[in-house]
């Protein structure tokens, strides 16, 4: 099964690199021995899962910030091709000026994506060569309800027709003590055929899921039976992103 393959090629070897630890100046995932594992995996699988991405103090500060921002959240809006009923989260958009606790996440994501753009894997470089900006952070909370399907987001692609400028999706999870058997809420990643399940990713605290935003990575959020918090930042082709939104606003 694909999940077993990912355990063998990515999760297991990365666990060894993570156990070796990092330093304040160089997180474990930025060490050459970790990059040697995740570079080829990202090229082959289009997805990367990194645990213990940030220092713990920064994670708790971010989790508190998301709770603080809940009062300003509104229901998440889907792409026009998706039913509005297919998305059950509440979201707010923020940058580091509005939510200073985002600073360490943005700084480390920039370092990670910079590393990706200079990987020896040319296929990864080619897919990221048009990255010129990153989005504001989307803070998202699924309410968690055992009785309904509201706390989910049906299968979709972040940049389905290749026009909205999103190139790389980075989602960071903030859910302490999460047990998928009890709470559900997995990020389910499909193969490009949109039917075969590639992986179910538990939204556990301090885990980062990174994947290409194009049709190579269809995904969904499974129904959550407990409140589920995440922060997503997209790395963009700014020119394409602006053109897409300008066309949207003018009704083209």
Helix (H, G, I), strand (E, B), or coil: what is residue 106? helix
pLDDT digits (tens, 9 = 90+) for 146-198: 555 554 667 778 888 778 899 999 999 999 999 989 998 899 999 999 888 89
**Is residue 87 within 8 Å of 104, Cβ to Cβ?**
no
- The bridge status of strand 90-94 relative to strand 197-201 is unpaired
Please spell the DSSP secondary structure of 78-104, one letter per residue. Answer: PPTTS-GGGB--EEEEE-TTT-GGGHH
pLDDT band of residue 118 (cuts 50, 70, 90) is very high
Question: Hey, which residues does 105 pair with through a beta bridge?
Answer: none
State the Cα–Cα distance between residues 202 and 178, nearest whole angstrom. Answer: 8
Which of these, 105, 73, 76, 104, lies nearest to 88 by C-alpha position? Answer: 76
86 by Cβ neighbours in 10 Å (0-12 / 13-18 / 19+) ranks as: middle
User: Which residues are registered as beta bridge partners of 74?
Assistant: 91
- State the average pLDDT for the chain: 88
Helix and strand numbers (H, E) in the chain are 8, 12
Write the pLDDT tens digit of every residue in 194-246: 888 899 999 999 999 999 999 899 989 888 889 999 999 999 999 989 888 78
**CATH superfamily of domain region 1-77+85-250:** q2cbj1_9rhob like domain (2.60.120.620)
Q: Using an 8 Å Cβ cutoff, are 63 and 27 in contact?
A: no
Give the phi and the psi of residue 150 in degrees, each rounded to 5.
Answer: -60, -35
Contact residues for 110 (Cβ-Cβ < 8 A; gap 6+)? 134
Q: Average pLDDT in the 51-61 region?
A: 97
What's the pLDDT score for residue 244? 82
pTM of the entire structure? 0.91
- Which H/E stretch holds residue 141? strand 137-142
């Amino acid at each position: 099964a694909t999940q077993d393959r990912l355990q063998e090629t990515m999760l297991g070897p990365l666990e060894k690199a993570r156990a070796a630890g990092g330093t304040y100046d160089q997180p474990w995932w930025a060490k050459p021995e970790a990059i040697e594992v995740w570079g080829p995996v990202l090229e082959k699988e289009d997805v990367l899962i990194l645990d213990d991405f940030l220092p713990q103090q920064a994670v708790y500060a971010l989790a508190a910030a998301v709770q603080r921002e809940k009062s300003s959240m509104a229901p998440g809006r889907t792409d026009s091709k998706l039913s509005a009923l297919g998305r059950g989260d509440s979201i707010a958009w923020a940058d580091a000026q509005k939510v200073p606790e985002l600073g360490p996440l943005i700084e480390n994501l920039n370092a990670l994506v910079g590393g990706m753009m200079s990987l020896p894997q040319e296929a990864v470089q080619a897919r990221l060569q048009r990255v010129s900006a990153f989005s504001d952070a989307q803070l998202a909370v699924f309410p968690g309800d055992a009785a309904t399907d509201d706390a989910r987001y049906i299968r979709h692609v972040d940049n389905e027709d290749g026009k909205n400028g999103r190139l790389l999706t980075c989602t960071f999870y903030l859910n302490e003590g999460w047990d998928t058997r009890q709470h559900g809420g997995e990020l389910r990643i499909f193969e490009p055929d949109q039917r075969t399940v590639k992986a179910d990713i538990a939204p556990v605290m301090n885990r980062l899921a990174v994947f290409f935003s194009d049709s190579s990575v269809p995904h969904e959020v499974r129904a959550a039976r407990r409140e589920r918090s995440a922060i997503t930042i997209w790395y963009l082709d700014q020119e394409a992103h602006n053109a897409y939104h300008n066309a949207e606003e003018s009704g083209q």
